[in-house]
Structure 1
Amino acid sequence: MTTDEAPYQRHLITHAEHPIAAPLSEESVAALLRRALADRAGPVRLLDLGCGQAAWPLRALAAHPTATAVGVDLDPGGLAHAAAEAARLGVADRLTLVTGDAAAFAAEAAHGAFDVVLSVGATHAFGGLAATLAGAVARLAPGGRLVLGECFWEREPTPAALTALGAEPADFTDLAGLVARCVEAGLTPVHGRVSTLDEWDDYEWCWTGSLAGWALDHPEHPKAAEAAATAAEHRAGWLGGYRGVLGFATLVLRG
């Protein structure tokens, strides 16, 4: 393959070294999945709304041989990657991948109820937190668990942070406000993890480093300059803007 033929799928490139599309370590992901699947005897149905590369369902299926999962996302590249990884892990027969809108899927009652619903770093797929919670609850079985990953303000957002994120102060609340909104939606928090600064840094270094490295490795590619500029802009916005200001919490909530 020549450099001009190398595919440019930015989401796959930026997550090549950090497949979890959120600032969470592998240990945190494993612990959260254990909590979500606790006390579940027999077959378990999982649904990931906005699954990307289906990193969460793949880990759950590998650890729980009686589980089945559905992943929904609009990105065909991410789903193709997920299908290949499912085949490699030997779980392809238990994973259904749907190319489509997560909110529309959640609104369709014919899909039935799921024991575990996941939406980690994907509230944008619903247009915000409130709609995400409503959509997830609609597909959650009685007594089921929702794994929700969402940003919050660690401290008062600075002008630099808001500029880097293209955000407004009202886009997120603090951690207490995030939990309160979940409770207002009829959900009870039973576990949670706040991403550490080390987890954030690892995620951001992987994101920017993978993209910058791809640009260096493919200097003749038509997208090389764009990739390098995107990596540099993202890195500057993180280091000079929202680092230590924007937080991320992953909550396990019972319906």
Structure 2
Amino acid sequence: MTETDLPPRLGALTFHGPLSEARADRLIERLAAGAPSTVLDIGSGWGELLLRVLEAAPGATGVGVDINAEDLARGRVLAKERGLAGRVEFVEESARGTARGPVDAILCLGSSQALCDPDQPHDPAAALRELRRLVTPGGRVVLGEGFWERTPTDEQLAGMWPGARPEDHLPLGGLVDLAIDAGFRPAWIETASREEWEEFESGYRHETEVWLAAHPDHPLAAETRARVDRQRSAWLNGYRGVLGIAYLTLVPVA
């Protein structure tokens, strides 16, 4: 079985999250305005946003940290294609307790769990304290974090990920309050739109759905079909319109 026979993975996505080109441009512009010299991307994946920050801040170097070797390899290829290989490093390691700070700019989009104890429930307050430790005075943090747009019903929770609970996320106001308690001021607060969510969710499965249509009898088809159907159902029958993503640009208090 060759690699081309296998189900594709995430090739239709530019960013691994509900993030539009326009919003990404604005986030990058705000980060680059501070002329950072060091950038850390926690849970970077292939580091698309990290690479764009480095392009917008020519004097900066960056590190992307993740535990997914395939995504990191994709990031290295992208960096080489853009002439950034000498300014960025993609490292396969845990971010918990990382010593890769302090830095001038931090990206942590949908990855705050990487800063927390994996044996305990996700703790955004602990993640925010870690981000505060890792950023230099006058630096910036861009945090992408889930929040409840509205309190989920029991039926919606049952349709989400296994074991989903109301305590899994806070409302937006509670999340921002945690950032302030951790020693930040929220310089910019924005949330992913319905269109961004739909682009991400459909893009997440697009290539795999096309592959399944073309390979219904493939040895991996049944397993892949079940996985994709569960993912789609969790969105459509669970968290669609209930779970939001906030993009917070945070400034550490002196």
- TM-score, length of structure 1 as denominator length: 0.89
> Aligned equivalents of 2:5 and 2:180: distance in 1?
41
Shift in CA distance, 151/8, structure 1 to aligned 2, threshold 3 Å: farther
- State the SS of the aligned residue for 1:225: helix
Match of 1:60 in 2: 53
Q: What corresponds to 2:119 in structure 1?
A: none
Alpha-carbon shift at residue 63 of structure 1 (Å): 2.5
Could you tell me which residue of structure 2 aligns to residue 48 of structure 1? 41
Displacement of 1:220 after TM fit?
Answer: 5.7
Is 1:22 matched up with 2:21? no
User: How far 1:112 moved relative to its partner?
Assistant: 3.9
Q: Percent identity?
A: 36
Task: Report what 2:203 is aligned to.
Answer: 206
CA RMSD, 1 decimal:
1.9
Deviations 1:66-91 (A, max 9, x none): 22100101111110010011001110
CA–CA distance in 2 between the matches of 1:9 and 1:60?
33
Residue 155 of structure 1 deviates from its aligned partner by: 0.6
User: 1:148 offset after TM fit, Å?
Assistant: 0.3
Q: How many residues align?
A: 244
Letter aligned with residue 28 of structure 1: R
Matched, 1:178 2:169: no
Task: Tell me, yes or no, if the aligned pair for 1:148 and 1:252 is still in contact at 8 Å.
Answer: yes
**Structure with the higher helix share, 1 or 2:** 1
Partner SS, residue 92 of structure 1: coil
Superposed, 1:128-207 pairs within 5 Å as 128=122, 129-163=124-158, 164-166=160-162, 167-207=164-204
- Residue 70 of structure 2, aligned match among 66, 77, 97: 77
> Contact 2:32–2:56 at 8 Å: present in 1 too?
no
Give deviations 1:79-129, integer Å, cap 9, x for gaps: 001001100111010001111001132xx2xx3421101110002212331
SS of the counterpart of 2:96?
helix
Structure 1 stretches lacking a partner, 5+ long: none
Give the CA deviation at 1:225. 2.1
The SS at the match of 1:137 is: helix
**1:87 to 2:50 alignment:** no
Provide closer, same or farther for how the CA distance between residues 235 and 8 of structure 1 changes in structure 2, counting only shifts above 3 A. Answer: farther
Tell me, in whole angstroms, the C-alpha distance in 1 between the residues paired with 2:60 and 2:211: 36
Cα separation, 1, equivalents of 2:19 and 2:219 = 32
Q: Distance in 2 between matches of 1:8 and 1:172?
A: 39
Rounded to whole Å, the distance in 2 between the matches of 1:75 and 1:212 is 22
Residue 165 of structure 1 aligns to a residue whose secondary structure is coil
Quick check: 1:34 aligned with 2:15?
no
- Secondary structure of 1:53's partner? coil
Q: Which amino acid aligns with 1:76?
A: A
Match in the other structure for 2:251: 254
Structure 1: which amino acid aligns with 2:176? V
TM-score, structure 2 normalization: 0.89
Alignment partners' CA distance in 1, 2:202 and 2:82: 27
SS at 2:129 equivalent: helix
- Cα drift, residue 178 of structure 1: 0.7
